[in-house]
Amino acid sequence: MVYVEQQSKSKAANKGRILVVDDHPVVREGLTYLIDEEEDMVVCGTSQNIPEAMKAIESLKPDMVTVDISLNDASGLELIKMIKTQFPDLPVLALSVHPEQLYAERAIRAGAKGYITKREATGQIITAIREVLNGKMYLSQRMTDRLLQSMVGGNKSGAETSPIDRLSDRELEVFSLLGRGQGTRQIAEHLHVSVKTIETYRLRISEKLNVDNASELLWSAFQWASEQDKTRAAEVLSGPS
């Protein structure tokens, strides 16, 4: 499903045109309402998965895209990478329920111009959208400080890095799918890779998370995925604050 903005060209001529990509209808509708209330921006379309999003970008030619990190068909990080490759000048804002400590840096590395959590106040979300739409970067001050610290010499604050942070984007995706009950063969089919490749990912994940066997890996993945799903479900029910 792709929603096409119904405003006349004359009304939308001077507005930044935004494509919203999120797999939850209530979030798409909520963001559309918020954005369309602004004088300088308008939603030109919405998409719920990667194929729809890429088609919408091609046909609607938005000025900016907001991308949910967690999509039903794949990781939003993969979509950001695809947009960066095929539409390098199109700015992307990652908008997600996931904590910025886990995904903000990954999103920026993938090609996003900013990251904000859906738990932020609506005014702050609009500010983030406007900043990215106007060609600027957007991150919270806390995340900006963390990235700058990393650039100038790594983590010198003494704070522990979460073991999850050690996983690559693909390893994190495999870990998430394991936690949602998918087996090795299912994950291989989902990601269009070989079973052997997934087995290699599982081994790397186990090493990075310091787990001793397959059962412990699956239990860790299940616990992590459950916490992520609880956070996401609460956000969907509440909508943009």
Query: What is the set of domains in the chain, with CATH numbers?
Result: 3-149 (3.40.50.2300), 163-237 (1.10.10.10)
Residue 157 predicted with pLDDT over 50 = no
What average pLDDT score do residues 105-132 get?
A: 92
Residue 29 predicted with pLDDT over 80 = yes
Residue-level pLDDT at 120: 87
Backbone angles phi, psi at 95, to 5 degrees: -125, 115
What average pLDDT score do residues 179-195 get?
A: 87
- pLDDT winner (highest mean) among 25-39, 159-173, 224-238: 25-39
Closest CA to 7 of 43, 33, 47: 43
Q: CB-hemisphere CA count at 13 Å for 74?
A: 19
Residue-level pLDDT at 72: 75
Q: Are 66 and 18 in contact (CB under 8 A)?
A: yes
Residue-level pLDDT at 73: 65
> For 12-25, b where at least 16 C-beta lie within 10 A, e where not — what string?
beebbbbbbbbbbe
Confidence class of residue 163 from pLDDT cuts 50, 70 and 90? confident
What average pLDDT score do residues 72-86 get?
A: 89
Confidence class of residue 159 from pLDDT cuts 50, 70 and 90? very low
Residue-level pLDDT at 46: 95
- Packing angle of the helix pair 169-179, 76-86 (nearest 10 deg): 150
Task: Find the range with the poorest average confidence among 11-20, 110-119, 159-168.
Answer: 159-168
Give residue 96's identity as a one-letter amino acid code: S
Residue 68 CA to residue 47 CA, distance in Å, equals: 11
What average pLDDT score do residues 186-213 get?
A: 89
Confidence class of residue 154 from pLDDT cuts 50, 70 and 90? low
Residues 6+ apart with CB under 8 A from 52: 1, 2, 21
Mean pLDDT over all residues of the chain?
83
Handedness of CA 69, 72, 73, 74 (dihedral sign): positive
- In this structure, the strands spanning 114-117 and 92-96 are parallel
Confidence class of residue 149 from pLDDT cuts 50, 70 and 90? low
Residue-level pLDDT at 10: 43
Query: What percentage of residues in the chain have a pLDDT greater than 70?
Result: 82
| Higher per-residue pLDDT: 226 or 134 | 134
Confidence class of residue 190 from pLDDT cuts 50, 70 and 90? confident
What average pLDDT score do residues 88-113 get?
A: 88
Residue 107 CA to residue 115 CA, distance in Å, equals: 7
What average pLDDT score do residues 210-238 get?
A: 73
Query: What percentage of residues in the chain have a pLDDT greater than 90?
Result: 44
Output the 3-class SS for the chain.
CCEECCCCHHHHCCCEEEEEECCCHHHHHHHHHHHHCCCCEEEEEEECCHHHHHHHHHHHCCCEEEECCECCCCEHHHHHHHHHHHCCCCCEEEEECCCHHHHHHHHHHHCCCEEEECCCCHHHHHHHHHHHHCCCCECCHHHHHHHHHHHHHCCCCCCCCCHHHHCCHHHHHHHHHHHCCCCHHHHHHHHCCCHHHHHHHHHHHHHHHCCCCHHHHHHHHHHHHHHHHHHHHHHHHHCCC
Backbone angles phi, psi at 111, to 5 degrees: 130, 0
